[in-house]
Amino acid sequence: MSCGAPSGLPTVDPKTPPVLVLAGPVTRNDVTRLGDDVRALLEDTGAGVVICDVRALRPVQIRTVDVLARLQLAARRAGGRIRLRDPSPALRALLDLVGVPVELEGQAEQREPALGVQEEVEPGEPGP
């Protein structure tokens, strides 16, 4: 498991979230270390989100969902959140089934409308 940016990088683009690559299977024993990694990435970069690259998480198991939920909790406690990169269809389905709220890379944030989408305004009402 590794972080996306090499150590010793002189500057970090604050608009590019750090990446934490998760290779599977992950276990409950990995939670503390991964939670520390997420918190450190949020603090060290000043980013509000850590991208968790989960494409290599195989096999998809309920404990994988537990680990991701705990990483989300660690990120929230540090004032940020995680966003998943390349989850398998099976992982997405399992996350939906158990109701773990995680964002996927490339999706609009829940608080913001997708780019290019405008609110409809009734005639005679002031615009947004």
Q: H or E segment at 92?
A: helix 89-98
Specify the amino acid at residue 92. Answer: R
* Token code pair at residue 73: 């909790």
The set of residues, in sequence order, having a beta carbon less than 8 Å from that of 120 and lying 6+ positions away, is none
**CATH superfamily of the 2-6+14-101 domain:** STAS domain (3.30.750.24)
pLDDT tens-place string over residues 81-128 = 999 999 999 999 999 999 988 899 987 554 444 444 444 555 666 655
Contact 91, 54 (CB under 8 A): yes
pLDDT tens-place string over residues 2-45 = 444 444 444 445 568 999 999 878 887 889 999 999 999 999 99
The set of residues, in sequence order, having a beta carbon less than 8 Å from that of 11 and lying 6+ positions away, is none
User: How is 46-81 classified by DSSP, letter by letter?
Assistant: --SEEEEEEEE--S--HHHHHHHHHHHHHHHHTT-E
